[in-house]
Structure 1
Amino acid sequence: MEPTIGPQQAPKTFVLCFDGTGNKFSGDESDSNVLKIFRMLDRSRGTQFHYYQPGIGTYVTSTSLSSTGTIHRIRSAYLKAKDSAIGSSFDQHVMGGYKFLMRYYVPGDDIYFFGFSRGSYIARFLAEMLDYIGLLEAGNEELIRLAWKTFAKWQQRRGQSNQDQEEKKKLFNYMKAFRETFSRPISRIRFMGLFDTVNSVPRFESAWMQR
């Protein structure tokens, strides 16, 4: 008697939208094109999953969203201004998208990225991170920070000297070992719709200019 095989699960589609610096939902015509695209996505199918991320400089707070004291408000305003200027929360934005895929993706699913300004750079950075580091198994949240640090070091490599090349080789081999040890297969990003990509994250921008 042949074993019965259940119906094959349809592949899922993941659409991740990363907004530009200072951009968030307003509910009117001032919303960015990324938000307008997000609004048009099909929510009637159970196989399509959507993720929207407000831009850098929009949700940095001093302690919590419920802080109301004057000092907290001043500190929150300062942190948001600093974030808008130098992208101090860039790592949180990249890891936010990574964590979303980590929780729900299975091999065979399709991934689409949309981004504007620094949100475009977040999408590009995340796509490269998935290429080099891979996607951790669901439930391994404790390793996300290590995955980030590993790829961030690679992106911050500089120069073409013999010492730089030796360091580059070590970093690459470490990433390869990390991927083979902890990550699962992931398809290439099917589509990336990026508008006006801006780096403006000093630690990565200056390293890129020296390579």
Structure 2
Amino acid sequence: RNLVICIDGTSNQFGIKNTNVVELYSRLIKDENQLTFYNSGIGTYAKPSWRSWSYFKQVIANKLDLAFALRFENIMLSAYAWLVDNYQEGDRIFMFGFSRGAYQVCALAAMLDTVGLLHKGNDGQIPFAYELYAASEPVPESEAKQSLPPPVADGVEDVNGAPESPTAAQGTRTESSLARREQKSLPEVEAQSSGPNEMQKRFKATFSRDVKPHFVGAWDTVSSVGFIRDKTLPGTTDGMGHVCLFRHALAMHEYRVKFLPEYVNGGHGPSA
């Protein structure tokens, strides 16, 4: 089956003039072989009567939402919850979004890669899964190099049982080197096991299914959440290596500062 997620942009919802997301959704086949999900953009609400107090509260909430994207996580996690309820082994996941909605589907794809897709019935773990994903830390290049096994000189015994040292001097150096490594191993292991990246792996293995989005399509991705545009969510700009196919369409004449595009750089996804 195909599972198709569509998330619209800021203040965008069904109307007289519709975005590409609505136009795409209107043309999707909706049956037992293709399930669909649509969420209108940040800052969209059903309007009550202007005479009611609810109307004025909603106007204020709408302005705050437009400025600070207060519903950013809610919209994204509602799509994640829909996947939790509907995904079956072998299903293909398609995601489409416009503007902030495009950024939300990119973040959703990265979240699936980081913490996986929860098994059905674990909806209560969704907020915690998002917190784990958002706390991701990049792996330093130096740490990656340290994880490689050290070179072993000819005749020097290593931890895997290579030939014995031919000289006492070499043996002394090897023993002292092993001692230093043993002394560091315990605190290093404790630090790694309590770090966010290690916690994500353990959480994913315990609660989640390992799924890969088949296709992510984005129109004019922007990450600006309100007036702040300095921090991006993990896995949204450094390539879509966790997605089989990724496509990004950008407007040629968008000059508004708050809607500068969020590019995705590099990356090669898994085979489709």
Q: 1:121 aligns with which of 95, 103, 122?
A: 103
In the superposition, relative to structure 1, how do residues 101 and 82 fare at CA in structure 2: closer, same or farther (>3 Å)?
same
> Which is helix-richer, 1 or 2?
1
Deviation at 1:149, TM superposition (A): 1.5
Aligned: 1:147 with 2:172: no
CA distance 1:38–1:67, shift in 2 (3 Å): same
In 2, Cα distance between the equivalents of 1:67 and 1:91?
A: 28
Q: Which moved more, 1:118-127 or 1:86-95?
A: 86-95
Map 1:141-180 to 2 at 5 A.
141-154=123-136, 170-180=195-205
CA RMSD across the alignment: 2.7
User: How much has 1:73 moved relative to structure 2?
Assistant: 1.6
Whether the aligned pair in 1 keeps the contact of 2:68 and 2:227 (CA below 8 Å) is: no
TM-score, structure 2 normalization? 0.61
Change (3 A) 1:137 1:123: same
Contact 1:107 1:185 (8 Å CA) reproduced: no
- Pick the aligned partner of 2:58 from 70, 76, 87: 76
- The 8 Å contact of residues 48 and 55 in structure 2, kept in 1 or not, is answered as no
Does the residue aligned with 1:176 lie in a helix, a strand or coil? helix
1:153 deviation in Å? 2.3
Counterparts of 1:182-193 in structure 2 under 5 Å?
A: 182-186=207-211, 188-193=212-217
TM-superposed CA distance for 1:146, in Å, is 0.8
| RCO comparison, higher one (Cα < 8 Å, 6+) | 1
Q: Is the 8 A contact 1:21 1:57 kept in 2?
A: yes
Q: Letter of the 1:184 partner, please give it.
A: R
Displaced runs of 4 or more, over 3 A: 65-71, 202-205
Are 1:16 and 2:5 an aligned pair? yes
Question: Percent identity between the aligned chains?
Answer: 33
- The one-letter amino acid of 2:42's match is I
How far apart in 2 are the matches of 1:204 and 1:107?
39
Name 1:58's counterpart in structure 2: 44
TM-score (norm 1): 0.78
Larger-Rg structure: 2
- Structure 1 residues 204, 191: closer, same or farther in 2, change over 3 A? farther
**2: CA distance between counterparts of 1:21 and 1:185?**
31
1:204 and 1:104 mapped to 2: Cα distance? Answer: 34
Q: Which amino acid aligns with 2:210?
A: P
SS in 1 for 2:90: coil
Distance 2:59 2:18 in 1: 22
Number of positions where the alignment pairs a residue of Structure 1 with one of Structure 2: 182
Following superposition, the deviation at residue 150 of structure 1 comes to: 1.4
User: What runs of 5+ residues in structure 2 fail to find an aligned partner?
Assistant: 143-190, 234-272
Q: Which amino acid aligns with 1:23?
A: N
2:121 partner SS: coil
1:41 and 2:28 matched? yes
Deviation at 1:71, TM superposition (A): 3.2
Instruction: State the alpha-carbon separation in 2 of the partners of residues 175 and 72 from structure 1.
Output: 41
What is the deviation of 1:87?
0.8
